[in-house]
Chain A
């Protein structure tokens, strides 16, 4: 009758999170020791990588390049959200639109987006636009597909109920289909962010003259392993932060799905 006991779920999550936070310092310690003991030039200890990050931060090199990369990510990802969600919703709602566009979405879903880089390169050269479009393509497809599944998955009975209570077509969309699709839409946003960050780094390394990837290339060329590892740390941090941001938003917006 009452809500099912919830202690089991969150309790477990909390323990999982604690284990997660514990595993990180352990990994860092292993890295540090391995780096010091091996004395291998391409495996600098964690402390050296951290020091390199510190140096690059204060020289202004890191903030400047990071801003360039993150701007590309922001523009590419925002466009992917702006196109992906409406497109997915329309495809999920209207069979005919879906029939026309499905094949393209499937192709894009199955193809490594990296294949498009030479094409984009030919069209837009080494401009920032190439990278932005690459990020957009990488994130938009999964966002579209998820929004479509979300809308399709909404219980037809709820739609009929809304109609019976006099909902207009618009109200069916805003009061039933969109809230019902939200969990999958949010999952799509999270996956899209992961792919967007990946595309950002790849785009940086393949195309851009500025940005994190360019920095990586610069220090890699100089065999400065400490700086390379430092940059990797920063990129991993950015990826985690972006995904975490979306995930926390997701949790707050889809609380009703908890305790299944």
Chain B
């Protein structure tokens, strides 16, 4: 259970730029084993919110708790999948997947054995000894996902994980993630700017406002699990996506906040 109450985050003034209020009055609750997508216009602070849940940044005000305990930093209950993959270029695929286990002090033979199952599950067999630069973007993100799964987190935090790969690969990765989410019990928070993706994957879609970002709406996706193949044609999906588009467009056209005299 992830609880966020009245959270505010400001980025201090820097290099002559004024301080920015990134998030204000953010409230949300994400249940255990729930799959939630967070969508919003670019620059609304979705990534900042995810980084705070990951413990990589702390809120300036408000409450951020996981299972009733305040988040004070990264923890073994959470793992992050990054938009730019963030693989170690000098480590092989197997060593990258085992990196989280390495940080926890697991012996090399043991952690590589643990990584082996994920290499198979992620379709990376035969690439164990490759370096990241030798892989396509899609395969690099499979490594990123495998690395997150290797530490067996209760909460998987995904920051626009499929935004840097081509459309076809994105689709395959989404299908893999769906299978994974339906098979294993995990809480997944998935940040994206892609409405199709958000609806396809999540149990619930949370919509964020432009900066200062806050959650303006939370919509349950009225689609069965496992998600059908022709999901994009389901009238409920089409209706929900159309609604979300409309909301997002409305935000972009909203007049800029009046400046003080």
Chain A residues within CB distance 8 Å of chain B:
1-4, 155, 157-158, 160-167, 171, 175-176, 179-180, 182, 254, 256-257, 259-260
B90 in complex: contacting residue of A1, A2, A182, CB < 8 Å: A182
Q: Does B244 contact A (CB under 8 A)?
A: no
Bound complex: CA A176 to CA B88 (Å): 8
User: Contacts A157-B82, A179-B90, A182-B90: A164 and B54 contacting too (C-beta < 8 A)?
Assistant: yes
Bound complex: CA A82 to CA B64 (Å): 45
Residues of A within 8 A of B100 (CB): 165-166
Contact digits for B84-106, partner A, Cβ 8 Å, 1 yes 0 no: 10111111000000011011100
Residue of A nearest to B130 (CB): A3
**Closest approach, in angstroms, between the C-beta of B53 and any C-beta of chain A?**
11
**Closest approach, in angstroms, between the C-beta of A186 and any C-beta of chain B?**
12
Residue pair B74, A164 in contact (C-beta under 8 Å)? yes
Bound complex: CA A23 to CA B145 (Å): 52
Q: Does B208 contact A (CB under 8 A)?
A: no
8 A-B residue pairings within 8 Å (CB atoms): A1-B136, A1-B139, A157-B82, A161-B80, A165-B79, A166-B75, A175-B99, A179-B88
Residue of B nearest to A161 (CB): B86
7 closest pairs, A vs B, by CB?
A161-B86, A3-B134, A157-B86, A164-B80, A165-B100, A256-B90, A256-B131
Bound complex: CA A4 to CA B86 (Å): 21
Interface centre among B88, B99, B139 (most CB of A within 10 A): B88
Residue pair B134, A160 in contact (C-beta under 8 Å)? no
Residue pair A164, B134 in contact (C-beta under 8 Å)? no
Residues of B within 8 A of A4 (CB): 134
Q: Does B219 contact A (CB under 8 A)?
A: no
Main secondary structure of the interface of B (DSSP, over half): loop
**Can you name 18 extra interface pairs (CB under 8 A) apart from A256-B91, A260-B133?**
A1-B135, A2-B134, A157-B82, A157-B86, A161-B82, A161-B86, A163-B74, A164-B54, A164-B56, A164-B78, A164-B79, A165-B74, A165-B80, A166-B75, A166-B103, A179-B91, A180-B88, A256-B133
Residue of B nearest to A164 (CB): B80
Bound complex: CA A163 to CA B82 (Å): 13
Residue pair A175, B103 in contact (C-beta under 8 Å)? yes
A158 in complex: contacting residue of B88, B102, B130, CB < 8 Å: B88
Residues of A within 8 A of B80 (CB): 161, 164-165
Residues of B within 8 A of A160 (CB): 56, 82, 86
